[in-house]
Amino acid sequence: MRYSHQRERIFRAVAESCEHPTANMVYEQLKTDMPRLSLGTVYRNLNQLADAGRLKKIPLADGSCRFDKTTKAHSHIVCEQCGCVADVHLPSLKAIEETIANETDFSLRSYDVVLRGVCRNCRQLSGQNAG
């Protein structure tokens, strides 16, 4: 992948974020400093960075994607109400790896697990609205 100033700024926007940003979030963050930047350019570069292994792409059930600076295997949990994403460190998947090997003769090389739930903020808002 050739060096591109725009691509490097897009990568840094994700790398410096704790939010697992969407392409739109990255675009909104950068557009003031980079007025010639388009949303399409952000999408294209994020996908190229994910394909090159520099970012992790997190596909969500609604068809949207979030991007993560941490590329090593780990899992995520997504709030079903507000869409926020957080890292989750699951216990060893050794038993699952063994089951996969026994049932399919595949050797597991990577995995993507996305769990769904409701975050604390949304639960508190629901409690406030209900009371």
What gap in Å lies between CA 68 and CA 19, rounded to an integer? Answer: 8
Q: Which domains does the chain have, with CATH numbers?
A: 1-71 (1.10.10.10), 73-131 (3.30.1490.190)
- The string of pLDDT tens digits covering residues 14-42 is 999 989 999 999 999 999 999 999 999 99
- 24-30 LR contacts (CB < 8 Å, sep 24+): 26/67
pTM given for the model: 0.79
Task: Supply the pLDDT for residue 67.
Answer: 97
Structure-token match 């050797």, residue found: 107
Query: What are the φ/ψ torsions at residue 117 (nearest 5 degrees)?
Result: -170, -160
- Span 120-130, mean pLDDT? 80
Helix-, strand-, coil-residue percentages of the chain, each rounded to 5: 40, 15, 45
Show the DSSP H helices in the chain as ranges: 5-15, 23-30, 39-51, 94-104, 120-130
CA atoms within 13 A on the CB side of 112: 11
- The string of pLDDT tens digits covering residues 45-55 is 999 999 999 99
pLDDT at 129 over 60: no
